Amino acid sequence: MLHGVCLGTNDLARAGVFYDRLLASVGMVRTMEVDNEIGYGPAGGKSCFWVLTPYDGQAASFGNGTQVTFRATSNTAVDGFHRLAIELGGVDEGAPGFRYRPRYYGAYCRDLDGNKLHVMFEADTEGTGRD
């Protein structure tokens, strides 16, 4: 069972500002902070996503083929997440739209350190209609 995901950053304060705003759009809040890491999760819940400076003191780098996927509550929320990521200095990696399956709606972007993020909503698995 997966407990969580960590992404490296070279500027924790800047990453914190980026993720505080971006993850709020999918219902996540800052759940903890120590000297070299910030954790995020559901309000009142445990951390499941962390952004941190590497413990070995080397520069953080993104992984080729690595991405973190966030579940949104609607197609509109996917649009908002993607738009906000770009406004906060992220880079577009795939505009919002339907892909993979008939009701799968998603978008891709990169954070300030080049980590790839995916946000998605799939109406038939969420128990609601299309947004």
Cα 52 from Cα 124, distance rounded (Å): 35
What tokens were used for 4? Answer: 């969580």
- Which residues make beta-bridge pairs with 5? 49
Tell whether 131 is covered by a domain.
no
- State how far the alpha carbon of 12 is from the alpha carbons of 35, 52, 87, 110, in Å: 9, 6, 19, 16
Indicate which CATH number applies to the domain containing 32: 3.10.180.10
User: Is 127 a residue whose pLDDT tops 90?
Assistant: no
Cα 131 from Cα 119, distance rounded (Å): 15
Tell whether 79 is covered by a domain.
yes
Q: What are phi and psi of 9, to 5 degrees?
A: -140, 155
How high is the pLDDT of residue 2? 86
Residue 75: which domain range?
5-54+62-126
Give tens-digit pLDDT for 58-97.
999 999 999 999 999 999 999 999 999 999 999 999 999 9
User: Is 126 a residue whose pLDDT tops 80?
Assistant: no
How high is the pLDDT of residue 128? 53
Tell whether 43 is covered by a domain.
yes
Give tens-digit pLDDT for 20-48.
999 999 999 999 999 999 999 999 999 99
How high is the pLDDT of residue 124? 74
Tell whether 90 is covered by a domain.
yes
Contacts of 89 (CB under 8 A, 6+ apart): 18, 112
Tell whether 119 is covered by a domain.
yes
* Whole-prediction pTM: 0.90
Count of the separate structural domains present in the chain: 1
